[in-house]
Structure 1
């Protein structure tokens, strides 16, 4: 295990242990209140286990932490996930889930706005491969595992009871890695996903003025958390004020987007452009 990752795991564990002490709880009592095993609490506090976002949420709620302290602990988890050595550790036990992966998996309502890259849940395997290839310190083995995990997680789109709403700018559809042929396959996948009863796909056309200038992509998971995506990774925000602000922002982009037959027509127009590029030999 990379020493930097190990140090961050220990920092997260020490902070949780200190908070448990301040709350006057034993490890056994905390485990019972959180609905997790006592060995899990012990391993996390001793820096020998990285908790999932769900487990960390259980622990913070059982400790009765306020919003700022909860966010502090979440940021420590994000730092662990972003530390060098994460991909190597995942190789022994399967792909590691990012904070976004974990938050999406546990949510019944997912709303994602993207202005540059397609939402993770909509990416084809080849598109995702280019996304992971561009990450710092990527390795062929790590990229392969990450792509497999991303494709597997997309089965959530088909589960009854879940709802996914995606809003993209037209620029996302025209920002392409690889080749025009790759994007033709990717756009064909978007057409298939758009027809699902569990999915709403909207696009803000370039002819439509943006209601506000986007700074970055983000994903709302239920009404409990928002994952902000940046060049350096992902940050999970759980404060009610911040989540409400992002909900309002998403609603404004959603109102500017086109859905249904109009978005299908737009996708077909973009596909025609990529066919023309493919025929001209542009790569």
Structure 2
């Protein structure tokens, strides 16, 4: 994890731990009053989880913080998120951390391919679109992302990805880059540890999440927003995302049908890469 981001995450955790001690509460009591799991309180206080705004608000209310102190801890969270959005020194993102410790990963994306499925060149464009990054930092981030994709091949893990067809048609770089990306998708789709589903254009989506999200086992969800990623284990939010994912998964094409869709879109990129001139 990036040193600046970790320092800010540690500062947030330490402040919350001190406020809990001042209130005379144990972690279990605070978790019960806030309506979150006790592991969430422990991970946040020890700098091992970035809480969502909802989780932080629940903890603040349970601690009965005044407006000034609530604003202080919210600013500490904002500082963590700012560091998360710009840390590209080979650090581990909240999503990477959550995935590493999970046996079942379920991810829905509607704009950008999931990080575990990105080719090196696709990932390079993703990172290069971030402001104020030099080529060396982008290179380190790409190498780190590609290395983490080895998790897809580990026995005992299961990964389920649901994409809209729009993800396949929202592309950076060149058609040649996308042809290589489709080769990777087809290779991953054939793995016994992976299920890859696509919701085609000619099917309505049953729900419209405003952002991508990834469920890690049955206890946490990583929400991906423009400001960065945050992890939450709030039961209501996890259940909501699980319900949405089930509906999206039911609407998607899998196996041979998904492969045929991938091949069809891939052929369109091939024609763009080799246009027929009159």
TM-score (norm 1): 0.76
1:164 equivalent to 2:154? Answer no
1:83 equivalent to 2:79? Answer no
Change (3 A) 1:78 1:261: farther
Change (3 A) 1:86 1:15: farther
- CA distance, structure 2, for counterparts of residue 112 and residue 24 of structure 1: 36
How many aligned residue pairs are there? 248
Change (3 A) 1:114 1:24: closer
Contiguous gaps of at least 5 residues in structure 2: 27-38, 62-69
Matches within 5 A, 1:11-160: 11-20=12-21, 22=23, 51-53=47-49, 68-69=58-59, 79-80=79-80, 82-83=82-83, 87=87, 91=89, 95-160=90-155
Does the CA contact (< 8 Å) of 1:78 and 1:235 recur in 2? no
Matches within 5 A, 1:173-212: 173-212=168-207
Any idea what the Cα deviations from partners look like across 1:64-104, whole Å, max 9, x if unmatched?
x99932999899567425328963xx74xxx2111111011
Does the CA contact (< 8 Å) of 1:5 and 1:84 recur in 2? no
Change (3 A) 1:74 1:268: farther
- CA distance, structure 2, for counterparts of residue 236 and residue 52 of structure 1: 10
Structure 1 residue 20: Cα displacement: 4.4
- Find the counterpart in structure 1 of residue 274 from structure 2: 279
Matches within 5 A, 1:240-251: 240-251=235-246
- CA distance, structure 1, for counterparts of residue 195 and residue 5 of structure 2: 41
* More contact order relative to length (CA 8 Å, sep ≥ 6): 2
Does the CA contact (< 8 Å) of 1:227 and 1:234 recur in 2? yes
Any idea what the Cα deviations from partners look like across 1:5-36, whole Å, max 9, x if unmatched?
866653442223333454578xxxxxxxx9xx
- CA distance, structure 1, for counterparts of residue 124 and residue 114 of structure 2: 14
- SS at structure 2 position matched to 1:280: coil
Contiguous gaps of at least 5 residues in structure 1: 26-33, 35-40, 58-64
Structure 1 residue 247: Cα displacement: 0.2
- CA distance, structure 2, for counterparts of residue 148 and residue 112 of structure 1: 22
Change (3 A) 1:107 1:78: farther
Q: Give the superposed CA RMSD.
A: 3.5
- CA distance, structure 2, for counterparts of residue 66 and residue 18 of structure 1: 13
Any idea what the Cα deviations from partners look like across 1:136-188, whole Å, max 9, x if unmatched?
33222221121111111111101111110000000000110000000000011
- Find the counterpart in structure 2 of residue 256 from structure 1: 251
- SS at structure 2 position matched to 1:266: helix
1:234 equivalent to 2:229? Answer yes
Does the CA contact (< 8 Å) of 2:11 and 2:76 recur in 1? no
- CA distance, structure 1, for counterparts of residue 107 and residue 178 of structure 2: 20
